[in-house]
Amino acid sequence: MKVIAVRDYKEMSQTAAKTIIRLVKEKPDAVLGLATGGTVIGVYDELISDYARNETDYGHAHSVNLDEYVGLSSDHPQSYHSYMNEHLFQHINLPPEHCHVPQGDAEDPAQEAKQYDQLIAELDGVDLQLLGIGRNGHIGFNEPGTSFSSHTHLVELTESTREANARYFTSMNEVPTHAITMGIASILKSKRIVLLVSGEAKAAILAEVLQSDVTTSIPATVLKMHPDVTVIADQDALQVVRQKGLMEYVHD
């Protein structure tokens, strides 16, 4: 696990976007594992700006999203499909039929999860998986205690995760209770992983991930078992790492 220190959220976003752009130029049919949430919006903004300036071609690429809320249709304003359309898909030339997000309103969510793993396998796997991290160390919606052997599955969201996402809904009652998420085993099959960590709120968990043994109680520690993981962390996110003298993990 390589940790790259950057100044701020802007530089973190630019660094991640350059990695994605480089991959798509080297491998036009790349499969991009994408995420949602506040951390990755800056990356998508950078990809959109680059597309407007340089017309980087996504015509042969595919995207595979980490997760989707159960019970929300793809056109629901708070679905992750709508999020991706708003923040990326409608701004670049990635073909709609190449944009893959779990179907949140599937009649059988468990079957949808199984088919999603099959889809990823048919695409020959994810070339680069973009990840954020929760304050409790979750990746995707894989909460503490999730088996490392889990594939894409139906998950009940914890109260803390629902509260963290409540800002996107009018009331807590509207926040879905379940989601379909790529499992930890599914994520680890990605050829390359980029984990983004920004802000003081993530400083404690980043330090914990770096100093802890691999444990299901902190799901992100499993990334230490992957051969090609890059963590891009800004100065605020590195505060506790500095305080605990863990800077040997960090590169400029």
Active site residues: 67, 136, 138, 143
> Taking the chain, what is the end-to-end CA distance rounded to the nearest angstrom?
14
Please report the sign of the dihedral spanned by the C-alpha atoms of residue 18, residue 19, residue 23, residue 24: negative
Alpha-carbon distance of 27 to 160, in angstroms, equals 39
| Tokens 């379940």 -> residue | 178
At residue 123, φ and ψ (nearest 5 deg) are -85, 5
Tell me, letter by letter, the H, E, C secondary structure of the chain. CEEEEECCHHHHHHHHHHHHHHHHHHCCCCEEEECCCCCCHHHHHHHHHHHHHHCCCCCCCEEEECEEECCCCCCCCCCHHHHHHHHCHHHCCCCHHHEECCCCCCCCHHHHHHHHHHHHHHCCCCCEEEECCCCCCCECCECCCCCCCCCCEEEECCHHHHHHHHHHCCCHHHCCCEEEECCHHHHHCCCCEEEEECCHHHHHHHHHHHHCCCECCEHHHHHHHCCCEEEEEECCCCHHHHHCCCHHHEEC
